[in-house]
Amino acid sequence: MLRMLLALSLAPAATSAQNATPESAARRIIEAKCVSCHGASKMAGLDLRQRPAMLTGGARGAAIVPGKPEDSLLYRAVKRDGDVKMPPGKAALGPEEIDAIRAWIAAGAPWTGEAKSAPSWWSFRKIIRPPVPAGSASSPIDRYINTALSKAGLAAAPPADRRTLIRRLSFNLHGLPPDPADVDRFLNDKDPQAYEKLIDRLLESPRYGERWGRHWLDVIRYADTGGFETDVLLANAWRYRDYVIRSFNNDKPFDTFVKEQIAADEIWPDNLDLAGAYEMPKSKAANLERRLGTSLYSLGALPVEFTFFGDQWRAEWQAEAVETTAAAFLGLTFNCARCHDHKFDPISQKDYYRLSAVFAGSEDREVPIVSQMGIFEYTRHQAKVVAADQLKRRLQLLDAAVRERQKSLPKGAKLDYTPEERDQRESLLRQLGEAYMKAPTLYAKANLLVHTAPVPDTHVLAGGEFKQKGERVTPGFPASLGPAPAIDEPADTQWFIPRRRKALAEWLTSRDHPLLARVMVNRIWGWHFGQGLVATPNDFGRQGDAPSHPELLDWLAAELIENGWSLKKLHRQILLSDAYQRSSQAVPASLAKDSENRLLWRMNRRRLEAEEIRDNILATSGALNAKMFGEPVVPELSREEMDGMRDPSQWPITADPAEHDRRSVYLFVKRSFRNPMMEVFNSPDASASCARREESTVAPQSLAMMNGEFLTKSAARFAARLKKDAGPDPAAQVDHAWRLALGRPPDAEEQRRALAYLPNAGLDKLCLLVLNLSEMIYVD
């Protein structure tokens, strides 16, 4: 029922055609329902804006035969009488509307001027700041939400208590539990601004970027390997991950963040020649940081076999770039338009390749990111690398000689060395080790976007196949998304430095762009409330869900832009709303009417995400290593866990065990093998943009929590921490355990139960129990 209400409120053309001429009635319908695809986008070649074009028609022939509705494709399509059924993928026109089309064609299809091709789909229309509804709430957010609640007759849940709030906020902003001392401080803070101060403190902590950076990494399908059979190591991917964390921590304006990722090299071009600098000047370092954003386009899942065919690799790489860009920044699924016009959204195949052309002439390349000095330091000592290589070669020669002597041995059998050979081998191995230790470490590199000249032409590829080149296209943006700047380029495109990505970035971040701000505020909202205002954050098209609060979404988008694209300001606005601070307790009457809580009469209870679950356990047991940044951490896995890995040598375990206790955002993300502890709690597979985490509840999770090595080890550490912090008194231990794990003391009954269990079971088992509590992984 609610869904129907939402749908109705979004259907502007549902009015009857009283007092209208046949032309005006038909025009209203065609403008509202047809021209978004069959206008400037000319899907299937059809343009319904002007009469001559209607008569010519598109790929299927004339759209109208004036005077003969039954022979007119347009009429038959909307009547759904035949193979072409329009509009596709959603409800048919109403009988009145179909009659209006019929009457108009029967009347000779009069048509004056041009139909407006204003985008008819809500998310393609310009963002206009809607008026804030009247109401008593101080936050405009609440005015919108409360208005919708009272319209639907839903009673809101009461405000949450402070203990719930600090835990909610702490996980939400940091992905970590609040420190017990901070809980006490907040509970006892008499300052009326206590909640605001808490928000500010949490937003200022570097833990914030680690949590919210991880959200963004979901969106841009982050991984440390390339996937597919080869699953090659993307050795510099982590620099992008760190760049993202820093960007969130520094509250980098979101428009800048977008510009950097898409086109830092084109927008801040003075940094192109890194190798020329003797020392790294500050401005270059700053621009280098920006350019790390372009690593976004070096992280995709691509089968490396494609490198054997230059064109094929390019086609795949550009397709991946287009689809990730569309999903992440436009909230649209472009994938289908690679092979054909989008069946549901006004995105034509040509649009796809015009966007693809934006990436033509750009290439992901590994480049040094140190000064000339750094490179020189390496080259100066490079002979030591050669020396080590030669020792390796000597060892190989020795083995080859032994193998030659034992040619007859079956393949794979162990070689038989003489005692002299064994000594020689051991000595060589020792020398090799020493030589390796002396060899210089290779200077730092990053994968960045660079330009390749000349810029190759881009063609529509039939069926997405790189060999099937069709029409040549110029770079540009989908017409259905409203006016976009033209990309001026010299006629001879063979020799020039393109600024196509710059144009894309500027188009996306311009004030008039209908999608970027909407899509991002919806993501942020979803990461705060567990569900976006649009429940499909990567699909703002017709296949996606309608917004639950369309005006609130637009208001937030307008605010984001107005506030200089500051995400931290947006967080504050949302977090300060009553809606965010509501209890997650059910109000039975509201639950019955809106069980999915689409109208936000309460806070959604949330299961922690995989990373949060692991980090929470590490933090609670006192083992969390807060070190930030750097190369990915590869933890040790059990033998049975390794069973799922194709090639165990591709799991190079990090030497320092202290590293294994770092936050999950720093764990190695391997595309062909997900860390089982992460996977069982629904970590994304990183094959493509992940808009929303799944939340399954299955027995393998409980097995991991009961029996997994990580859990038993953590329980032992937790117990040791309790003994150290709380001393030998069991009551004090239990009290402390609850405070650390749950942010609250146990109540009398819990205390009694735990103390009764403790003597026989021992503290380790009690700690394992606490780590397994539902309250550990569900946040109210």
Instruction: Determine the interface stretch with other proteins among 48-56, 134-142, 291-299, 707-715 (rule: CB under 8 A).
Output: 707-715
State in angstroms the smallest separation of the CB of 594 from other proteins: 8
The token pair at 119 is: 């985008």
Q: Mask of contacts with other proteins, 610-639, x by CB under 8 A? A: ----------------------------x-
Closest to other proteins by CB, 476 or 746: 746
State in angstroms the smallest separation of the CB of 643 from other proteins: 4
What is d(CA 593, CA 252) in angstroms, rounded to the nearest whole number?
41
Closest to other proteins by CB, 511 or 753: 753
Q: Which of 554, 693, 521, 531 is nearest to 602 (CA)?
A: 531
The single residue among 275, 383, 444, 698 that binds other proteins, judged by CB under 8 A, is 698
What is d(CA 303, CA 754) in angstroms, rounded to the nearest whole number?
53
Binders of other proteins among residues 471 to 530 (CB under 8 A) are none
Instruction: Determine the interface stretch with other proteins among 179-187, 369-377, 563-571, 672-680 (rule: CB under 8 A).
Output: 672-680
Phi then psi for residue 667, to 5 deg, are -70, 145
Neighbours of 605 (CB within 10 A): 14
Q: Is 445 within 8 Å of 313 (Cβ atoms)?
A: no
DSSP 153-218: T-PPPPBPPHHHHHHHHHHHHHSSPPPHHHHHHHHH---TTHHHHHHHHHHHSHHHHHHHHHHHHH
Count interface residues toward other proteins (CB under 8 A): 77
607 binds other proteins (CB under 8 A): yes
State in angstroms the smallest separation of the CB of 770 from other proteins: 9
What is d(CA 664, CA 616) in angstroms, rounded to the nearest whole number?
10
Closest to other proteins by CB, 142 or 231: 231
Q: Calculate the dihedral angle through the C-alpha atoms of 414, 417, 423, 428, rounding to the nearest 10 degrees.
A: -60
778 binds other proteins (CB under 8 A): yes
Q: Which of 672, 677, 664, 670 is nearest to 637 (CA)?
A: 677
Which helix (H) or strand (E) segment is 354 a member of? helix 349-358
The single residue among 18, 112, 649, 697 that binds other proteins, judged by CB under 8 A, is 697
Binders of other proteins among residues 281 to 310 (CB under 8 A) are 301, 303
Partners of 625 in beta bridges? 662
59 binds other proteins (CB under 8 A): yes
State in angstroms the smallest separation of the CB of 192 from other proteins: 29
The single residue among 187, 269, 750, 755 that binds other proteins, judged by CB under 8 A, is 750
State in angstroms the smallest separation of the CB of 236 from other proteins: 22
Binders of other proteins among residues 76 to 95 (CB under 8 A) are 82-85
Q: Which of 541, 476, 540, 472 is nearest to 504 (CA)?
A: 476
Closest to other proteins by CB, 208 or 710: 710
Closest to other proteins by CB, 43 or 198: 43
162 binds other proteins (CB under 8 A): no
State in angstroms the smallest separation of the CB of 676 from other proteins: 6
What is d(CA 280, CA 291) in angstroms, rounded to the nearest whole number?
15
The single residue among 53, 676, 689, 779 that binds other proteins, judged by CB under 8 A, is 676
State in angstroms the smallest separation of the CB of 131 from other proteins: 30
What is d(CA 479, CA 38) in angstroms, rounded to the nearest whole number?
11
Q: Mask of contacts with other proteins, 186-215, x by CB under 8 A? A: ------------------------------
Produce one character per residue of 417-434: b if its CB has 16 or more CB atoms within 10 Å, e if not: beeebeeebeebeeebee
761 binds other proteins (CB under 8 A): yes
42 binds other proteins (CB under 8 A): no
Q: Mask of contacts with other proteins, 375-414, x by CB under 8 A? A: ----------------------------------------
Binders of other proteins among residues 578 to 597 (CB under 8 A) are 584-586, 591-596
Residues 302, 303, 308: CA angle, nearest 5 degrees: 120
7 binds other proteins (CB under 8 A): no
695 binds other proteins (CB under 8 A): yes
User: Who's near 417: CB < 8 A, 6+ residues apart?
Assistant: 402, 425
The single residue among 71, 200, 204, 643 that binds other proteins, judged by CB under 8 A, is 643
Binders of other proteins among residues 708 to 737 (CB under 8 A) are 708, 712
**Half-sphere exposure (Cβ direction) of 401: Cα atoms closer than 13 Å:** 11
696 binds other proteins (CB under 8 A): yes
Residues 279, 280, 284: CA angle, nearest 5 degrees: 150
DSSP 440-464: PPPPPEEEEEEE-SSPPPEEEEGGG
Closest to other proteins by CB, 625 or 772: 772
Residues 328, 333, 339: CA angle, nearest 5 degrees: 130
250 binds other proteins (CB under 8 A): no
Closest to other proteins by CB, 476 or 532: 532
Q: Mask of contacts with other proteins, 415-454, x by CB under 8 A? A: ----------------------------------------
Partners of 473 in beta bridges? 458
The sign of the dihedral angle between the CA atoms of 488, 492, 498, 501 is positive
Rg (CA), the chain: 31
State in angstroms the smallest separation of the CB of 670 from other proteins: 12
